[in-house]
Amino acid sequence: MEPSQITILKKRPATQGPQANTFWRKTARGKVQKVVREHYLRPASDFPAIPSHVPQWIVVDTNVVLHQIDLLSSPSFPAPLLIAQTVLDEVRHRSLPLYNRLKALVDEEFAGEREMLGKRGWIVWNEAIEETFLVRDQGESPNDRNDRAIRHLASYYGSVLASNPAKRQKTGTSTSRSDDQPSVLLLTDDADNKRKAVAGGISALSVREYVESQPTEVSSALMDLLAAVGTGPEKKRGAALYAEVSLSPAESRAGLELTLLALQYLLPSVLQAGVKAGKLFQGHFNPNPYNYKEATVACHERDKPILLVGLESMNRSVAGDVVVVELLPESEWKGAADDVVDSDTAAKNDDPDADPTTDDEEAPAPAAASKDVQPTGKVVGIIKRNWRTYVCHLDRSSLPPAALTSTTSTSIFASPVSRSIPRIRILTRQAALLSSQKFLVSIDRWPVTSKYPEGHFVRVLGEVGSKEGELESLLEEWEVPYRAFSAAILDCLPAEGDKWVVPDKNDDPKNVWAGREDLRGEIICSIDPPGCQDIDDALHAKRLPNGNIEAGVHIADVSHFVHPDNPMDAEAASRGTTVYLVDKRIDMLPHLLGTNLCSLRPFVERLAFSVLWELTEEGDIVNVRFTKSVIASKEAFTYEAAQIRKDDKSLKDPLTDGIRLLNSIAIKLKAKRMAAGALNLASPEVKIHMESNESSDPVDVEQKALFETNSLVEEFMLLANISVAQRIYEQFPQTAVLRRHAPPPKTNFEVLQDVLAKRRGLSLDVSTSGALASSLDDCIDPNLPAFNTLVRIMATRCMLSAEYFCSGAIARDAFGHYGLASPIYTHFTSPIRRYADVLVHRQLAAAVSGTPLHAGLQTKSFVEKTLEVVNKRHRSAQQAARASIEFYVALAIQRREELSLQAGGGKVRAEAFVIRAFRNGLAVFVSQFGLEGLVTFKRENEYDAETYEIAVPSDPTDASSPSVRIGVFDKVLVEISVEKDKNTQRGRVIMTLIEPVNSTNA
């Protein structure tokens, strides 16, 4: 068979000679990019033919995918999608998560009576097919050319399918095509694109028209999923926002002139010029958790964040948006409010069917002391929206009485679980169903004429209060991927399954032993938390003949099983990390690897990547080497069991001696770190007690116990990470996967420094990490042993977050890890649960063995993009874990209260520290439960901003009674109960002040 002809199209600039087929250009980010003016095309016959038995194919343009992906993904969507490469490329450029979602949708199979249709989508590589490729016309914009290419694809395949006799065959099912049904239908919400399609003889509908044309059952299922498009402020396919006011079609027909409730956004060109000139400032929008009418924007160009006061100044921004801010005149600068303002109370009477003609009357902010005044501004534009799907519940106060029985679309408010997101107005036909459910909602637009954003329903998560529904809503809330591993991923696992074993050295057809050191004879053990199944690391230590000590850290060799560029690797990269919840673990890798073949379980041989040091008695490194290995762990200890073993003086066996040797070196390693300026920070950790091993019902909560062996493991993991970081950076100076912790801005500590000085007469030196560590050690109150821990917790909150980075992306002097006082650092020791560690393993293997490294890990852009996802997933995992703990702590306190009341006692009480004071409340921290809560007062009290105190009447029923002054760092007694949170609809901890003043009626 002769090979098909390949057509090469060459486009040369008129001003250059015929040899100029390629040139180099510099991108906006300063990168050099090669541009090739050649396009290789093949005939359509060289590509797989699209199935002709499908009654109707739906071609969508880019905007339909961007705005209506929830509708397209619905199981009720009746027809398969024909996705043009043009659309795929544009979606990938605009949103990588949406691109991945579209690719996954195309691979899904229809179910039920539509099973015969096969896959839910088909990708057509129209940019590579001779019959469907279009050259951009002179003067034609890229957007217009792409729209024309999509219309041409719809026309071409409509003709191909119309001429195919197979399409006329009836299938005998409801999926059969009627005689008047077009083979290919174009869906577009762009009126101009639709007009041109119809003029060209192409069948085209808007998405709404298509949904309304479906049978009642299908139409009803899809109608709630329709996103509101065409009236928002976003320009077609443009990431920047335009300063235009658009009315809905109904409003336009009625000729309504609506009151503008917010400032119009400036044009993108004005925003860019203003930021470049230093007249405007760009940063992330961060709402105040205590006051919904305040927010801040941190900008690189300014030491202090810019304060936004009032909803008008916040100008339709939501948490995480990248906004542009204009500073107000200095005479209008204000200080942060000193009271708690709850959005639920303020908005409880709002009508979802109508917007107020003016915004809420906003009380002027009280005059702030000069030290509290900070730069104040207003949002004048949005660079990038952070809109996503939000976990919501139905705000029943917004429901008209007829909504619970009506089957017509009703406008209601969906209240997001996150307090940083405003209520979202949606249209739904299923208000009665949603009234008892948690569900997902996407924001579609936020018109300048509306107080609230508008969105659409996505799907139900589960019943409010049910553990299954709450678990899924928690995972969705923090964007944790939790789908089951697909068949393609599971096919990447060893064919032997759980029968896989390390082969005999002399019978190794797959060369598993190649380049590995046999360490099965070493006395190796693991030390982990109770119940740990995914054992990443193990250790050993022994005395050498020369008097020095050999210490080894052995890490699971995950990269032996997870190979680059296969489905399992892609899924691990997407998940980024394992997520640990109180009663569930969302694994990064399939169970077979994470808890079996990779896990360094005792008494079985396992593949490992080992770091071996020769150390002096004082913990100084003589030399270090890295090797792939085979180990056989001799025991798996919990921290407590290892501590008991170490402390048992009657035991003299090699394993116990090894633990003692490791511990003695760990103590010296920690002393060296602390002397170098490492920080000993604190964060509350609690342990949830369950009713039984099989039950997920919590019965109590207590602080986690820490042992000396916790520090033992930590010190050797840190040492391994630092040693590996040095080695991979030496080998790959431009693409090494590293981790940094940037020094926090000194302004982050100003409030804490001022509070310590005025409330305790203590100073906090933040000039260096060493100075900070020393001054934290001096923050002691002899009468309050927990005071130092509290200060360390508050200092931790002033820090920046650590992050992964590519070594070639930043200057060498910015590599350092501030908290560890290490000039270089990475993560190597937990590849079962962290994808960054898998990348580090691959780089280290290439560095020590000389084997080729995957091309991606030698490309700075690939490493940067991968680590961007990993950083996001790492933050989400931490937040999800905290939310899970808070949920179960609330359940445990509720259970404790029930048992106390049954025994004739009262509600749960505990000591707490005041960490912030407001005019109408106190933020307190209960170390016993690791909880932070808010004690609120019904009336405002006298607040002294200079001393961080409020004066509360000793008799709450008598305002004239003598006042009791309560301030930051004071110890108080609180009563803790649990009630349903209005936002999350989960049990929420409520705190009431008992001593020194009872605030029950205050």
Tens-place pLDDT, residues 446-466: 988 888 999 999 999 988 877
Neighbour count for residue 531 (Cβ, 10 Å): 8
Tens-place pLDDT, residues 126-184: 999 999 999 889 889 999 999 999 999 999 999 988 876 554 443 334 444 455 678 99
**Main-chain dihedrals φ then ψ at residue 675, nearest 5 degrees:** -65, -30
Question: In the CATH scheme, what is the code of domain 36-164+181-224?
Answer: 3.40.50.1010
Tens-place pLDDT, residues 278-309: 999 999 999 998 888 999 999 988 888 999 99
Say whether 907-996 and 255-350+372-478 share the same fold: yes
Please identify, in words, the CATH class of the domain defined by 907-996. Answer: mainly beta
Tens-place pLDDT, residues 913-931: 999 999 888 999 998 888 8
CA distances from 698 to 459, 496, 927 (A): 29, 39, 19
Which burial class, exposed, middle or buried, applies to 25 when counting CB atoms under 10 A from its CB (0-12, 13-18, 19+)?
exposed
Alpha-carbon distance of 753 to 623, in angstroms, equals 43
Q: What is the pLDDT of residue 353?
A: 62
CA distances from 247 to 256, 351, 434, 449, 719 (A): 8, 19, 29, 8, 61
Determine the distance from the C-alpha atom of residue 292 to the mean position of all C-alpha atoms in its chain, rounded to a whole number: 22
Give the type of residue at 740.
R
Which burial class, exposed, middle or buried, applies to 840 when counting CB atoms under 10 A from its CB (0-12, 13-18, 19+)?
buried
Question: Residue 338: which of 314, 318, 309, 312 has the closest Cα?
Answer: 309
Alpha-carbon distance of 702 to 532, in angstroms, equals 19
Choose between 173 and 612: higher pLDDT.
Answer: 612
Both tokens of 858, joined, read 């030698």
Question: What is the CATH architecture of 255-350+372-478?
Answer: Beta Barrel (2.40)
Neighbour count for residue 996 (Cβ, 10 Å): 14
Tens-place pLDDT, residues 248-258: 444 443 444 44
Choose between 433 and 209: higher pLDDT.
Answer: 209
Give the type of residue at 996.
P
Residue for token pair 């065959």:
169
Question: Residue 459: which of 390, 398, 386 has the closest Cα?
Answer: 390
Q: What is the pLDDT of residue 348?
A: 58
- Contacts with 140 (C-beta within 8 Å, 6 or more apart), sequence order: 148
Alpha-carbon distance of 191 to 209, in angstroms, equals 12
pLDDT above 60 for 13: no
Residue 241 confidence class, pLDDT cut points 50, 70, 90: very low
pLDDT above 60 for 69: yes
Q: Where are the beta strands (DSSP E) in 320-474?
A: 322-327, 376-384, 389-394, 410-416, 424-428, 437-445, 454-463
DSSP 42: B
**Main-chain dihedrals φ then ψ at residue 993, nearest 5 degrees:** -75, 130
- Contacts with 350 (C-beta within 8 Å, 6 or more apart), sequence order: 356, 398, 413, 423, 451, 452
Alpha-carbon distance of 162 to 52, in angstroms, equals 10
Which burial class, exposed, middle or buried, applies to 184 when counting CB atoms under 10 A from its CB (0-12, 13-18, 19+)?
buried
What is the pTM for the complete model shown? 0.83
Alpha-carbon distance of 340 to 361, in angstroms, equals 17
Which burial class, exposed, middle or buried, applies to 932 when counting CB atoms under 10 A from its CB (0-12, 13-18, 19+)?
middle
Q: What is the dihedral of CA 719, 722, 724, 728, to 10 degrees?
A: -170
Which burial class, exposed, middle or buried, applies to 860 when counting CB atoms under 10 A from its CB (0-12, 13-18, 19+)?
middle
Choose between 41 and 979: higher pLDDT.
Answer: 41
Residue for token pair 């997870």:
562
Residue for token pair 């995972």:
475
Alpha-carbon distance of 401 to 399, in angstroms, equals 6
Question: Residue 366: which of 918, 956, 921, 757 has the closest Cα?
Answer: 918
Q: What is the pLDDT of residue 599?
A: 97
- Upstream peptide bond of 996 is cis (omega within 30 degrees of 0): yes
Q: What is the pLDDT of residue 344?
A: 62
Question: Residue 117: which of 82, 153, 164 has the closest Cα?
Answer: 82
Q: What is the pLDDT of residue 986?
A: 60
Domain extents in the chain: 36-164+181-224, 255-350+372-478, 487-501+512-737+821-878, 907-996
Neighbour count for residue 379 (Cβ, 10 Å): 24
